[in-house]
Homo-oligomer: A and B are copies of this chain.
Amino acid sequence: MNNFYFQLPTEVYFGKGQITNLPGAIKQYSDNVLLVYGGGSIKRTGLYDTIKNLCAEKEIEVFELSGVEPNPRIDTVRKGAQLCKQHNIGAVLAVGGGSAIDCAKVVAAAAKYDNDAWDLVLNPSLIKEALPIFTVITIAATGSEMDRGAVISNDETNDKLAMFSALFYPKVSILDPEYTYSVPKNQTAAGVADIMSHAFEKYFTRVRGAYLQDRIAEAILKTCIHYGPIAYHEPENYEARANLMWAASQAIDGVTWRGNDVQSTAHPIEHQLSAYYDITHGVGLAILTPVWMEYILNEETVHKFVDYGVNVWHISPEKDPFDIAKEAIAKTKAFFASLDIPSTLREVGIDEEHLEIMAKKGSKNLENAFYPLEEKDVLQLLKNAL
Contact = CB atoms under 8 A, between A and B. Distances in A.
Contacts of A220: 212, 215
A371 B16 CA distance: 26
A328 to B, nearest CB: 17
Interface stretch (A6-14, A90-98, A118-126, A157-165): A6-14
A239 B209 CA distance: 6
Nearest to A18: B3
Interface stretch (A60-68, A243-251, A281-289): A243-251
Given A219-B218, A243-B1, A250 B18 contact: no
A9 B238 CA distance: 28
A191 interface: no
A11 B8 CA distance: 8
Contact of A255 (B14, B222, B226, B255): B255
A242 interface: yes
Interface in A216-260: 216, 218-220, 222-223, 226-227, 238-239, 242-243, 246-247, 250, 255, 258-259
In the complex this chain forms, how many copies of it are found? Answer: 2
Contacts of A218: 215, 219
A342 interface: no
B250 A255 contact: yes
Contacts of A258: 14
Given A212-B247, A219-B212, A243-B209, A13 B5 contact: yes
Contacts of A213: 246
A252 B18 CA distance: 24
Interface string A11-48: 11111111000000000000000000000000000000
Contact of A243 (B14, B18, B212, B238): B212
Nearest to A213: B246
Contact of A219 (B11, B216, B226): B216
A212 B242 CA distance: 10
Contact of A242 (B17, B209, B215): B209
A2 interface: yes
B14 A5 contact: yes
A121 to B, nearest CB: 26
A179 to B, nearest CB: 14
A1 B246 contact: yes
Contacts of A3: 14-18
Contacts of A9: 9
Given A5-B11, A215-B223, 11 more contacts: A3-B14, A3-B15, A3-B18, A4-B14, A9-B9, A14-B258, A208-B239, A212-B223, A212-B243, A216-B250, A216-B255
6 contacts: A1-B15, A208-B239, A211-B239, A212-B246, A215-B218, A215-B222
For the complex of A and B, list the 3 residue pairs with the smallest distance between their C-beta atoms, beginning with the closest.
A3-B15, A215-B219, A209-B239
